[in-house]
Amino acid sequence: MATFVLVPGGWKGAWAYEAVIPLLEAAGHSVHALTLTGLRPQDDIATVATANLDTHADDVLRHLDRAHLTGVTLVGHSYGGMVISAVADRAAGRISRLVHLDAYVPQDGESCWSATNDYFRGVFEAGAASTGYSVQPPGTKDPRRRPHPLAAFVQTIRLTGAAAQIPRREFVYCSGWEDQTPFAPLRARLQADPEWQVHDLPTRHDAMNEAPEAVAALLLGEAATER
């Protein structure tokens, strides 16, 4: 039995994985989907304003401790790739597999802001204009999305290289939104790195809802690897 810890992307909570969770559980695995600090409905202004990338990494690390989890498959979608990178650097011995699901794979000193493209920097700027500390979700596709702490998008990550000890590291590239994706250069970089497995999905960014069966199959190890 595998243990999956699922970290959502920007503006989202544990519900982002709601279509995938039952598929993993039906296969007999343990699944922990998290909602990060500042993204919970009960979080007040001060909580949102002070939450940053370190806060979110600490959320995941605390959950690993409280649930006594080891041998974890740690999955991060989009911004969640920043979070799982920070977690992996601090808890590499407890993580057996790292999956960046159309997600950032930062290098030391990068932030979500520096690693993304001009389109999303514009989204962050426009979304933060009203408060200066939180970024309103773009569009109106899901009313459950919440303002995202701005500090989490702009804080730089500090990495020691410890995540290189994790035996299995994977990147999933969603190819169905090439007009906006910030991940094409990242895909090219990781394809050239023999320590990474790179998968392609022909979906837009929200693969978990657009193709939950394909995402679950990939997480369950049933999908072919694309190099």
**Model pLDDT, residue 104:** 98
Question: Rounded to two decimals, what is the model's pTM?
Answer: 0.96
153 contacts 124 by C-beta, under 8 angstroms: yes
Ranking 16-20, 124-128, 202-206, 221-225 by mean pLDDT, the lowest is 221-225
Domain boundary assignment for the chain: 3-219
pLDDT digits (tens, 9 = 90+) for 148-190: 999 999 999 999 999 999 999 999 999 999 999 999 999 999 9
pLDDT digits (tens, 9 = 90+) for 28-86: 999 999 999 999 999 999 999 999 999 999 999 999 999 999 999 999 999 999 999 99
75 contacts 88 by C-beta, under 8 angstroms: no
Q: Is 5's pLDDT higher than 50?
A: yes
167-186 b/e (C-beta count within 10 Å ≥ 16 → b): eebbbbbbbbeeeebbbeeb
**Fold topology of 3-219:** Rossmann fold (3.40.50)
pLDDT digits (tens, 9 = 90+) for 182-204: 999 999 999 999 999 999 999 99
**Which of the four pLDDT bands, split at 50, 70 and 90, describes residue 141?**
confident
Residues with catalytic function: 78
